[in-house]
Structure 1
Amino acid sequence: MSGLTLVLGILSTTFITFLFFKWFLQNRGKRYPKGPMGFPIIGHLPFFGSHPPSTFMKWRESYGDVFSIRLGSWQAVVVNGYKAVKAAAEHPNDAFSGRPNFVSMEVAAELINEETFAFGNFTPVYLKQRKLTSKALRLFTFKRSDVIEELVTNEANAFADALIRKYSTTPGYIELDVQILVTRIIYQFLYGRGKHVDVDRHVKTIINLLDEINEFSGSGSAIDVLPWLRYIMPGKIEAFRKLATESVGLMREQIQEHYESFSADDIRDVTDAIIASDAEDEENKDKHMLTRARLNLTLADLQGAGVDTTNKTLSWLLLYMTKFPHIQERVFAEIDTVVGKFRNVQLKDKPDLVYTNAVILEVARTVTQLPFSLPHFSMKDAKIEGLDVDKDTVVIFNLYSVHHEKEFWGDPECFRPERFILDDNTLDSDKSNHIVAFGLGRRRCVGEFLAKMNVFLAFSNIMQKCKFVRPPGERLDLTPIPGLVYTSKNFKVLVQERSSSL
Structure 2
Amino acid sequence: MLDFNSLCAIVIAILGLILSYCYIQQKWIFSDRKYPDGPWGFPVVGHLPLLGKFPPKQLMAWRKIYGDVYRIRLGSWPAIVVNGYAAVKEATLTAGDAFSGRPDFVSAQVLRSRTGDEDFAFGTFSPAYVKQRKLLAQALRMFTYTRQSFVEEIVDTAAKNLGKTLVAKFSKLAGSLADDVQFAVASIMYQILYGKSKQVDKDKHVRVIANGLEEINRFTGSGSPIDVMPWLRYVMPGKLETLRNLQCESDKIMLTEVEEHYKTFDKDNLRDITDAFLNAAEQLKQDDEGGYELTKMRMIMSLFDLQSAGIDTTQKMTLWLVLYMAAYPAVQGRVQEEIDSVVGQERPPALADKPRLVYTEAVIQEVMRIVTILPVSLPHYAIEDSKICGYHVDKDTVVILNMFSVSHEAKVWDDPDNFRPERFLTESGEINTSLLGHSLPFGLGRRRCVGEQLAKINLFILFSSLMQQCHFTLSGSADLTPIPGLVYTPENCNIMVQNRN
TM-score range, shorter chain: over 0.9
Select the residue among 71, 76, 79 that pairs with 2:79: 76
Shift of 1:297: 0.6
Partner residue of 1:102 out of 102, 105, 120: 105
Query: How big is the shift at 1:24?
Result: 7.3
The yes-or-no answer on 1:243 pairing with 2:242 is no
In the alignment, which residue of structure 1 is the partner of 2:295? 291
The one-letter code matched in structure 2 to 1:47 is L
Conserved? CA contact 2:195–2:272, under 8 Å? yes
The equivalent of 2:14 in structure 1 is: none
Paired position in structure 2 for 1:41: 44
Look up the match of 2:323: 319
Q: Secondary structure at the match of 2:446?
A: helix
Partner of 1:231: 234
Rounded Cα–Cα distance in structure 1 between residues aligned with 2:258 and 2:94: 36
| TM-superposed deviation, 1:142 | 2.5
- Counting matched residue pairs gives 478
Counterpart selection for 2:499 from 467, 482, 497: 497
Structure 2 partner of 1:5: none
SS of the aligned residue for 1:495 comes to: strand
Shift of 1:114: 0.5
The one of 135, 154, 159 aligned to 2:157: 154
Larger C-alpha radius of gyration, 1 or 2? 1
Task: Map 1:262-341; keep pairs closer than 5 Å.
Answer: 262-281=265-284, 282-284=286-288, 286-341=290-345
CA–CA distance in 2 between the matches of 1:461 and 1:193? 20
How many percent identity over aligned positions? 51
- Correspondence for 2:374: 370
Aligned AA (1:238) = E
**1:275-297 residue CA offsets vs partner (Å, 9 max, x unmatched):** 00110122245421111111011
Aligned residue among 61, 79, 87 for 1:58: 61
Inter-CA distance 230–284: structure 2 relative to 1 (3 Å threshold): farther
Other structure's SS at 1:173 match: coil
Encode CA deviations 1:62-101: one digit per residue, 9 max, x unaligned. Answer: 0000000000010000000000000101134310000000
Q: How far apart are the structure 2 equivalents of 1:31 and 1:284?
A: 45
Residues 137 and 53 (structure 1 numbering): CA distance in 2 closer, same or farther, change over 3 Å?
same
Q: What residue is the counterpart of 1:351 in the other structure? A: 355
Change (3 A) 1:31 1:152: same
Match of 2:200 among 197, 200, 225: 197
Residues 150-170 of structure 1 show CA distances to partners (whole Å, capped at 9, x for unaligned) of: 110110011001111111111
Does residue 466 in structure 1 map to residue 466 in structure 2? no
1:198-217: CA deviation from partner (whole Å, max 9, x where unpaired) = 11111110011001001111
Write out aligned runs for 1:331-480 (5 A): 331-471=335-475, 474-480=476-482
TM-score (normalised: structure 1): 0.93
Pick aligned residue for 1:218 from 217, 221, 244: 221
Deviations 1:106-144 (A, max 9, x none): 000010111011111110000000000000001111231
Residues 427-460 of structure 1: per-residue CA shift (max 9 Å, x gap): 1111111110110011100000110110000000
Could you tell me which amino acid in structure 2 is paired with residue 56 of structure 1? L
**Larger displacement relative to structure 2 (355-364 or 134-143):** 134-143
Partner of residue 7, structure 1: none
Whether the 8 Å CA contact 2:187–2:199 is kept in 1: the answer is no
Does the aligned pair in 1 maintain the 2:142–2:276 contact within 8 Å? yes
Letter in 2 for 1:490: N
Distance in 2 (alpha carbons) for counterparts of 1:237 and 1:28 = 38
Deviates more, 1:490-499 or 1:151-160: 490-499
Paired residue type of 1:65:
D
CA distances 1:454-474 after superposition (whole Å, capped 9, x unpaired):
000000001000000112xx2
Matched, 1:185 2:188: yes
Listed as ranges, the gaps of 5+ residues in structure 1 are: 1-15
1:132 and 2:135 are equivalent in the alignment: yes
Kindly tell me: are residues 26 and 123 of structure 1, through their superposed partners in 2, closer, same or farther at Cα, counting changes over 3 Å?
Answer: farther
What residue identity is the alignment partner of 2:281? D
Cα distance per residue 1:357-398 (max 9 Å; x no partner): 010010011110100111000001100000010000000100
CA distance in 1: counterparts of 2:197 and 2:471, whole angstroms: 28
CA distance in 1, matches of 2:297, 2:30: 42
Separation in structure 1 between the aligned mates of residue 456 and residue 266 of structure 2, nearest angstrom: 29
Letter matched to residue 269 of structure 1: D
Q: Deviations over 1:322-365 (max 9, x none)?
A: 11111000100010011111110000000101110010010011
Q: Is 1:483 paired with 2:447?
A: no
SS at match of 2:223: coil
Question: Any stretches of 5+ residues in structure 2 without a counterpart?
Answer: 1-18
- Aligned AA (2:161): A
